């Protein structure tokens, strides 16, 4: 093992856009596991929009990251030292290992991965929290059924690209909302959406009238803000809105609720918040189905992998909010 462990620690609560000064890179000794614990050498770190909300002091679906603590993050790695009865040296795992090179774990939330089935990156994409969010959000929360018109915002992102593909597998019409003509072209020509709306250049309401003339049956919202308001005006009777994220507002000091919420009443529709961690006891079920679709070639895992060190974390987190990535954004730590 290396001599030291580099860690990214939360130094300040961000105001607006995340800054380098909101973090401190510290160097510590590589941890030694006690009874019932093991050490993972981290190789991949998941970069997610929700990280921005975890940095705030206010209440959220998970406790905020404490100042002075290692920044929370999912990732993959290999066990390099163990005194745990269920995890041995050499095991490849996914878990909440944080933005650091080595992580000490008691096994909570750690899951084995099988790289003979798919590359490690895919366990942060289609076979990870990303794919599971889309899977349970569509089938359990939205109660998606064949023939539905499914619209998803942030469609070129990690979760959004999965939502569109799973909707098509289920026999639905998939419409993505993304920023820029290149992303919209990719959604239709490469990922397989039926249509894409460029929110930067198109009138979203007008485009929805064109692409979803019968209304939107399922709206999977990843961005909030004006786009959520626009889609609410085009809901079909009995529509289901899934609130998965609000990336357009994470950097705002105060979030704004939807102005067009009365459309829920008029259309007898529902709006439900969705947190994938509530389905942890069913991850194996979801992963099995997603892996089958991957093996059959019906599903692809869109991944945007950047090689670097933990010091690159702040800039990559900012990149999520400028739309620089297409698919799942992953930091691959340099070997050694």
User: What confidence score (pLDDT) does residue 36 get?
Assistant: 97
CATH, range 129-277: 3.40.50.720
Same fold, 4-125+301-333 and 129-277: no
Class of domain 4-125+301-333: alpha beta
Please report the beta strands in the chain, taking only residues with DSSP state E, as ranges in sequence order.
4-10, 23-29, 38-46, 75-82, 92-95, 102-105, 111-112, 149-153, 173-178, 195-198, 216-221, 235-243, 270-273, 303-308, 328-333
**Residue ranges of domains in the chain:** 4-125+301-333, 129-277
User: What confidence score (pLDDT) does residue 222 get?
Assistant: 95
User: What confidence score (pLDDT) does residue 195 get?
Assistant: 98
d(C-alpha 222, C-alpha 257), whole Å: 14
User: pLDDT truncated to tens, each residue of the chain (336 aa)?
Assistant: 457 999 999 999 998 889 999 999 999 999 999 999 999 999 999 999 889 989 988 767 888 999 999 999 999 999 999 999 999 999 999 999 999 999 999 999 899 999 998 999 999 999 999 999 999 999 999 999 999 999 999 999 999 999 999 999 999 999 999 999 999 999 999 999 999 999 999 999 999 999 999 999 999 999 999 999 999 999 999 999 999 988 877 777 677 889 999 999 999 999 999 999 999 999 999 999 999 999 999 999 989 999 999 999 999 999 988 877 778 999 999 743
**pTM score > 0.75 for this model?**
yes
């Amino acid at each position: 093992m290396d001599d030291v462990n580099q860690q990214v620690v939360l130094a300040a609560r961000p105001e607006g856009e995340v800054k380098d000064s909101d973090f401190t890179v510290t160097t510590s000794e590589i941890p030694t596991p006690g009874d019932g614990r093991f050490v993972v050498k981290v190789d991949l770190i998941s970069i997610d929009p929700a990280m921005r909300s975890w940095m705030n002091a206010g209440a959220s679906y998970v406790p905020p990251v404490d100042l002075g603590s290692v920044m929370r993050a999912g990732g993959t790695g290999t066990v390099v030292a163990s005194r745990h009865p269920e995890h041995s040296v050499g095991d490849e795992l996914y878990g909440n290992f944080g933005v650091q090179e080595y992580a000490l774990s008691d096994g909570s939330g750690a899951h084995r991965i099988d790289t003979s089935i798919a590359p490690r990156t895919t366990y942060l994409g289609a076979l990870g929290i990303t794919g599971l969010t889309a899977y349970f959000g569509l089938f359990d929360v939205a109660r998606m059924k064949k023939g539905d018109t499914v619209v998803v915002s942030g469609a070129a992102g990690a979760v959004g690209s999965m939502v569109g593909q799973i909707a098509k597998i289920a026999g639905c019409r998939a419409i993505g909302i993304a920023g820029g003509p290149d992303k919209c072209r990719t959604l239709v020509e490469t990922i397989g959406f039926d249509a894409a709306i460029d929110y930067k250049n198109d009138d979203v309401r007008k485009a929805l009238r064109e692409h979803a003339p019968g209304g939107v049956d399922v709206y999977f919202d990843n961005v909030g803000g004006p786009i959520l308001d626009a889609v609410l005006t085009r809901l079909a009777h009995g529509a289901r809105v899934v609130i998965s994220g609000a990336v357009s507002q994470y950097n705002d000091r105060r979030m704004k609720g939807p102005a067009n919420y009365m459309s829920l009443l008029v259309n007898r529709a529902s709006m439900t918040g969705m947190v994938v961690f509530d389905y942890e006891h069913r991850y194996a079920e979801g992963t099995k189905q997603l892996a089958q679709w991957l093996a059959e070639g019906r599903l692809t895992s869109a991944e945007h992998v950047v090689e670097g060190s933990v010091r690159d974390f702040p800039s990559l987190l900012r990149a999520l909010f400028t739309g620089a990535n297409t698919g799942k954004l992953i930091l691959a730590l340099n070997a050694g």
